[in-house]
Amino acid sequence: MDLGISGKTAFVAASTGGLGLAIARALAAEGVRVAVTGRRPDRAKEIAAELEAAGHTAIGIEADLGTPEGAAAAVERCTEALGPVDILVLNGPGPKPGAAATLTSDDIAAAFDVLVKPQHALVAQALPGMRERRWGRILAVGSSGVVAPLPNLAVSNTGRAALAGYLKTLAAEVALDAVTVNMLLPGRIATDRVAELDQAAAKRRGTTVEEIQLESRKTIPARRYGEPGEFGAAAAFLCSAPASYITGVALRCDGGLIRSL
């Protein structure tokens, strides 16, 4: 399938590793000009160089998205080097694990500071141009916790649900401008983040990581963790021209982990 996005420009937040990197690679393979971003400028530039060596167009950008000023600077750098942002991928590190019963007011604030404010700041920078050009894709990397809250991830469940509410509202507001807004929800994808959660679970329960992974696989109908490349491919489609009638959707890429439709 021709995804129809060759020559577009993508800003992929937190793309120096994990799911963000998988998306950056998938978009680059489709001919998209990709801004690889993160707090590790050397790593961002290294990945961009790898993509360029493979015949793609990419740039590595240091991006501290903790403030609106940082988001503005990163998007401006992308625009200067690659052109206006057509595809905005919202992504970031997950907050610390923890139970709902022990949440503090600082934890609640952190849920918004980490999972809502940076994403809103990026949207505020990229969306006006998308609406003016009447073409745009906004895709957020979420979590299956948006559909079914995950045990011991209370901060993540809270912040991601808030982000989902914001994006669903936004999707309806910008649909007439040919801008789609969607979320892609990973299940157990084999990334460093999931490995950290497995390690934390093993420590908490006094068992081995291998046992935790075995138990996790048993809960997934596919009986395996997903590969980052599989997630990246799903993201590339949601950012494509053929996906122009898909908006306001939270699509799960989880091997059947969540049992509801």
Q: Indicate the DSSP class of residue 96.
A: P
pLDDT of residue 150: 87
CA angle 44/3/14 to nearest 5° reads 20
218 SS3 class: helix
pLDDT of residue 211: 96
pLDDT of residue 95: 84
Residue 39 phi, psi (nearest 5): -85, -5
pLDDT of residue 60: 98
Helices and strands in the chain, H and E counts: 9, 7
Residue 78 phi, psi (nearest 5): -60, -45
What does each of the 261 residues of the chain score in pLDDT, given as a tens digit?
Answer: 899 999 999 999 999 999 999 999 999 999 999 999 999 999 999 999 999 999 999 999 999 888 889 999 999 999 999 999 999 999 988 788 889 999 999 999 989 999 999 999 999 999 999 999 999 999 999 998 899 998 889 999 999 999 999 999 999 999 999 999 999 999 999 998 899 889 989 999 999 999 999 999 999 999 999 999 999 999 999 999 999 999 999 999 999 999 888
pTM above 0.85, yes or no: yes
CA-to-CA distance for 162 and 45, rounded, in angstroms?
Answer: 32
pLDDT of residue 197: 84
| CA-based R_g, the chain, Å | 18
The residues near 62 (Cβ < 8 Å, ≥ 6 apart) are 37, 38, 39, 40, 41, 44, 74
pLDDT of residue 260: 87
Confirm if 79 and 71 have CB atoms less than 8 A apart: no
